[in-house]
Amino acid sequence: MYIYDMSKKTKITNAIPETVLNHLKKLGDNIMLARKRRGLTQEHLAAQVLVDRNTIRRLEKGDPGVSLGIMATTLWILQLESDLNAIARPEKDQLGQSLSEAATKKRVRIKKQDKDEYDF
């Protein structure tokens, strides 16, 4: 009898497309470079973010299990939080804009309003 027991981490990793994992890895590399440029160790950065060193190590490796809050706090500590504003900006959402334009009605109709009893 074969028992298939998949860990939570494996399930998460298997559910994420390879291209997304590659972006997370690149983000982790960028965070590691920023940390090193500031002369911070993983231990020192972890103390500032209020997590353990292993969490910073996982973040720098691009682990998708690290919370968005920890990532955002790390970027804030490294003074890179303005980069968060570039994520999913509505003015850069070309697909969303084209879908919205396609859904806009071509004809505008004025709704009939209830007749006011005082209207002569």
pLDDT in tens, 15-60: 899 999 999 999 999 999 999 999 999 999 999 999 999 999 999 9
Give the Cβ contact number of residue 6 at 10 Å. 8
In one letter, which amino acid is 39?
G
Token digits of residue 94: 């070309």
Q: What is the CATH number of the domain that holds 37?
A: 1.10.260.40
Give the range of the structural domain holding residue 31, as residue numbers without chain letter: 8-84
Residue 118 lies in a domain: no
Residue 116 lies in a domain: no
Alpha-carbon span 28 to 32, nearest angstrom: 6
Residue 120 lies in a domain: no
Answer yes or no: pTM beyond 0.85.
no
Among 19-23, 88-92, 106-110, name the one with the lowest average pLDDT: 106-110
Candidates 40, 71, 39, 36; CA nearest to 55 is 71
> Tens digit of pLDDT for each residue in 66-88?
999 999 999 999 999 998 888 88
